DNA sequence: AAAAAAAACGAACAGACGTTCGCATTGTTG
DNA sequence: CAACAATGCGAACGTCTGTTCGTTTTTTTT
C-alpha cells in the first residue's frame, strides 16, 4: 500500500474532525447549530495549528487567535471555556485519532511481518494526513496540566506496545530474531516521529512519504528479520 | 568505548560551561569578577533548565527564575540584557558544545565503520552528559527570533552532514552498501534524539545509555554494512 | 414582518508580564 | 577604617494577558 491508496481508504477531511469534536463536546459548547459550530471549530483548529507551529501554544494569545480566525474574543469563548480547555480538547482528540486508526490497521493483518509493515506505514501515513494534529500533540504535550498528563503518557505507552507485541509474536513464530523488543519499538517510534517533526527537511530533500516509509521498513526488517530470511526478499507484501 | 570511559576523557563540569559562556559574553555581562559571574551563571542556567523542562521557556517568567535562583530581578538583568538574550545565549552555546565535540570525535578515527560507531556513540554520550543543554536546544529552537533561526538550522544540517559523509566514504570503500545516505543519516539522528527527548522512558525501562547506544549501532550496521560483511561479526571495535 | 432565539461583538477589568532604576549591601583597595 | 567600586535588591511602570458581560447583529420561528 502506498500513500495514495491509503488516502482513499482513510479519507476524512478537517471538517469531519471538527464535527467529531463538536459531537463529543456538545454540552460545553454554547453554540447549538451544528453547521455553524463545525464551520467555526474548523477555523479555530486550523488557526491554532498555524500559530502554534510558529511560536508555540503558550505564546499564542487569544488576540492572535481572534485575528487569525476573524472571530471576536467573545465568540471564541462560546466555543471553549478557556485557553486551557482548548489545548486539552485538541490533545485528547489528537490521541484519539492515532489510537482509533492504529488499532484498526493492526487488526487487519495476521502475519507478523505484514502487520509490522502495515502498522509502521500506517502510522507514518496517518501523521502525514493529520500532520498538524500529530505535531501539536507531540510539541504541546508538556503544556497540559498534570491531571491530564497521565492520560497522554499512557497513550504514548499504548501505541508503543502495539509494535512491541508484534515483534514478540513474530519472534515466537521464528520470523523475527530475539531481542529487546521494547527498545526496538522505541527506536521505530522515534523514526516515525521524525516524519512529522521535521517535515520541512524532507520537503527540502525531495523525499516523499512513500520513500520515507519504505526506507524505514527496510531498516527495521534488516535488523529484525531472523537471519535465514534475510536474503530472501519478499516483495509480495510491499 | 562505554559511557564511563567517555566521561573520563570528555569530563567538563557545568561550572566549566558557565565559565565558557562568561568569557564569550564578557562585554555584555555587567559583572566583572569571574568567580562571582561564573557561580551565578551556573545557577541561572540550571534554574532555566529545571523550569523550562517542566513548562517551557516561554511560560517561564523572570519571577520564576528569580525564585528558583534565589537572585533578585535586578541582579538577573546584570547577567543578561533580557529574556530573549538569555534564550539566545543558551541556544548558541548548546550548538557550540555539540559541534566542537562531534568534530573532535569524528577526526579521531579513519576507518568508516569505526568512525560511524564513534560518532553515533559520541553523540549519545554527549547528549547524556549535557542532557539539559541538548533538550533545551531542541525543544526551544522555535522560540528564537528568525534572524538567529537560520544559524540554528544550518547547525542541524551540519551535524547531519558528518554522518552522511561517513556513509558515503564507507560506500566508496565497499564497507557500506549504496543507498540514500541523507535519509539514513536523518533516521540515525532521530534515534539519537530519542535518548535525550524521552530520557524518563528509558529510566523506567531500566535501559542504560550503553545499552541504548549499542542497540542503535546494531540497527544501523544491520542495515548499512555491505552484505558479505554482515555475517562476520567484528567485535574488535565495539 | 414582528417576535424570539442564537450568535457575534469588543470595551473593560484584574492580574501577570518584562524591564528599569534609585538605593542598600557587600567586597576591595589605599 | 575610610573611600570607592562592585554587586544585589525590589518597588514601580507601562504593556499585554485571559476572561467577562452588556449590547448589537444575525438568524430562525411565529
Contact criterion met (CB < 8 Å) for B194 and A198: no
CB contact B54 to A (< 8 Å):
yes
**Which of helix, strand or coil describes residue A225?**
strand
Q: Nearest-CA residue of chain A relative to B194?
A: A190
B-chain CB neighbours of A223 within 8 Å are: 218-219, 222-223
Q: What is the pLDDT of residue A154?
A: 85
Do the chains contact at A180 and B216, CB–CB below 8 Å? no
- Find, in chain A, the residue whose alpha carbon is nearest to that of B186: A194
Contact A27, A85 (CB under 8 A): no
**pLDDT band at residue B232 under the 50/70/90 scheme:** very low
pLDDT of residue B231: 47
- Residues near chain D strand, CB within 7 A: A 33, 60-64, 73-74, 77, 81-84; B 30-33, 36-37, 40, 70-75, 77-78
Quick: pLDDT tens for B55-107.
999 999 999 999 999 999 999 999 999 999 999 999 999 999 999 999 999 99
CA nearest B206 in A: which residue? A183
CA gap B99, A196 in Å, rounded: 25
What does the pLDDT look like over B116-148, one tens digit per residue? 999 999 999 999 999 999 999 999 988 888 777
* B7 CB less than 7 Å from any atom of strand C: no
Residue with cell 568508516: B112
Distance of CA B218 to the CA centre of its chain: 22
A45 close to A14: Cβ distance less than 8 angstroms: yes
Sign of CA dihedral A23, A28, A32, A37: negative
Q: Is the C-alpha dihedral spanning A233, A120, B170, B125 positive or negative?
A: negative
Instruction: Decide if pLDDT at B229 tops 60.
Output: no
In a structure prediction context, what are the per-residue pLDDT tens digits for chain A, which is 238 residues long?
999 999 998 888 999 999 999 999 999 999 999 999 999 999 999 999 999 999 999 999 999 999 999 999 999 999 999 999 999 999 999 999 999 999 999 999 999 999 999 999 999 999 999 999 999 999 998 888 877 778 878 888 899 999 999 999 999 999 999 999 999 999 999 999 999 999 999 999 999 999 999 999 999 999 999 875 444 444 444 4
Angstrom distance (rounded) from CA B12 to CA B129: 9
Strand C nucleotides within a 7 Å radius of protein CB atoms: 6-12, 16-22, 28
Other C-beta atoms closer than 10 Å to the C-beta of B100 total: 12
Residues of chain A in contact with residue B223, where contact means CB-CB under 8 angstroms, are 218-219, 222-223
Helix (H, G, I), strand (E, B) or coil at A176: strand
A62 CB inside 7 Å of strand C:
no
A4 touches A42 (CB < 8 A): no
CA dihedral A84→A133→A91→A216, nearest 10 degrees, is -140
Yes or no: say if B225 and B175 are a contact pair by the CB < 8 Å rule.
Answer: yes
More confident residue, B143 or B231: B143
Q: Which residue has the cell 505507552?
A: A157
pLDDT digits (tens, 9 = 90+) for B152-172: 788 888 999 999 999 999 999
How high is the pLDDT of residue B228? 54
Please, what's the largest Cα pairwise distance for chain A?
66
| Mutation choice for B interface testing from A52, A149, A215 by most B CBs within 10 A | A215
pLDDT at B189 over 70: yes
Which nucleotide's C1' is closest to B29 (Cα)? D7
**Of the ranges A159-168, B6-15, B217-226, B227-236, which one carries the lowest mean pLDDT score?**
B227-236
What Å value separates CA B73 and C1' D9?
Answer: 8
Residue A226 is predicted with a pLDDT of 84
Q: Which residue is nearest to nucleotide D8 (CA to C1')?
A: B75
Q: What percent of chain B has pLDDT over 90?
A: 84
Q: How far is CA A71 from the centre of its chain?
A: 28
CA atoms within 13 A on the CB side of A52: 25
3-class DSSP assignment, residue B225: strand
- What local confidence, expressed as pLDDT, does residue B147 receive? 76
Residues 111-150 in B contacting A (C-alpha not used; CB under 8 Å) = 142-143
SS (H, E, C) B158-192: HHHHHHHHHHHHHHHCCCECCCCHHHHHHHHHHHH
**What residues pair up with B225 in beta bridges, in sequence order?**
B176
Here the contacts of B187-190 (C-beta below 8 Å, separation 24 or greater) are B187/A191, B187/A194, B187/A215, B187/A216, B187/A219, B188/B120, B188/B163, B188/B216, B188/B220, B189/A194, B189/B159, B189/B160, B189/B163, B190/A190, B190/A191, B190/A193, B190/A194, B190/A198
Confidence (pLDDT) at B186: 97
What sign for the dihedral angle of Cα A46, A47, A49, A53?
positive
- The whole-angstrom distance between A5's CA and the closest CA on chain B is 24
Q: Which residues of A92-113 are buried (b: 16+ CB within 10 A; e: fewer)?
A: bbbbbbbeebbeebbeebeebb
**What distance in Å separates residue B194's CA from the closest CA in chain A?**
6
What count of Cα atoms within 13 Å lies in the side-chain half-sphere of residue B211? 13
- Which distant-in-sequence residues (6+ apart) come within 8 Å of B30 by Cβ? B78, B79
Q: Based on the number of CB atoms within 10 Å of its own CB, is A217 exposed (0-12), middle (13-18) or buried (19 or more)?
A: middle
Scored b (16 or more CB within 10 A) or e, B51-63 reads bbeeebbbbbeee
State the residue for C-alpha cell 504535550. Answer: A141
What are the residues whose beta carbons fall under 8 Å from the beta carbon of A17, sequence distance 6 or more?
Answer: A42, A45, A93, A97, A130, A133
Give B34-55 pLDDT, tens digit per residue: 999 999 999 999 999 999 999 9
CB contact under 8 A, B59 and A180: no
- Model pLDDT, residue A228: 54
Question: For B157, which DSSP code?
Answer: H
- What integer pLDDT is reported at residue B149 of this predicted model? 77
Query: For chain B, what is the radius of gyration of the CA atoms?
Result: 20
Instruction: Walk me through the domains of chain B, giving residue ranges and CATH numbers.
Output: 3-230 (1.10.357.10)
As a whole number of angstroms, the distance between CA B124 and CA B216 comes to 10
Instruction: Say whether pLDDT at B208 is over 70.
Output: yes
Amino acid at each position: 500500500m502506498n500513500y495514495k491508496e491509503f488516502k482513499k481508504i482513510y479519507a476524512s477531511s478537517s471538517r469531519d474532525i471538527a464535527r467529531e469534536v463538536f459531537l463529543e463536546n456538545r454540552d460545553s459548547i454554547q453554540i447549538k447549530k451544528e453547521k455553524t459550530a463545525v464551520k467555526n471549530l474548523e477555523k479555530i483548529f486550523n488557526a491554532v495549528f498555524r500559530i502554534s507551529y510558529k511560536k508555540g501554544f503558550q505564546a499564542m494569545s487569544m488576540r492572535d487567535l481572534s485575528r487569525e480566525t476573524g472571530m471576536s474574543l467573545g465568540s471564541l469563548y462560546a466555543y471553549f471555556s478557556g485557553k486551557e480547555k482548548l489545548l486539552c480538547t485538541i490533545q485528547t482528540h489528537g490521541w484519539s485519532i492515532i489510537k482509533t486508526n492504529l488499532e484498526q490497521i493492526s487488526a487487519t493483518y495476521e502475519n507478523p511481518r505484514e502487520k509490522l509493515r502495515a502498522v509502521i506505514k500506517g502510522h507514518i501515513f496517518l501523521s502525514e494526513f493529520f500532520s498538524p494534529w500529530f505535531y501539536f500533540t507531540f510539541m504541546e504535550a508538556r503544556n497540559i496540566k498534570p491531571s491530564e498528563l497521565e492520560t497522554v503518557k499512557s497513550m504514548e505507552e499504548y501505541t508503543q506496545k502495539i509494535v512491541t507485541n508484534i515483534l514478540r509474536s513474530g519472534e515466537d513464530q521464528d520470523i523475527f530474531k530475539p531481542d529487546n523488543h521494547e527498545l526496538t519499538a522505541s527506536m521505530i517510534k522515534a523514526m516515525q516521529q521524525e516524519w512529522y517533526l521535521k517535515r520541512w527537511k524532507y520537503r527540502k530533500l525531495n523525499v516523499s512519504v512513500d520513500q520515507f516509509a519504505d526506507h524505514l521498513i527496510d531498516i527495521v526488517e534488516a535488523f529484525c528479520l531472523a537471519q535465514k530470511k534475510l536474503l530472501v526478499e519478499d516483495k509480495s507484501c510491499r
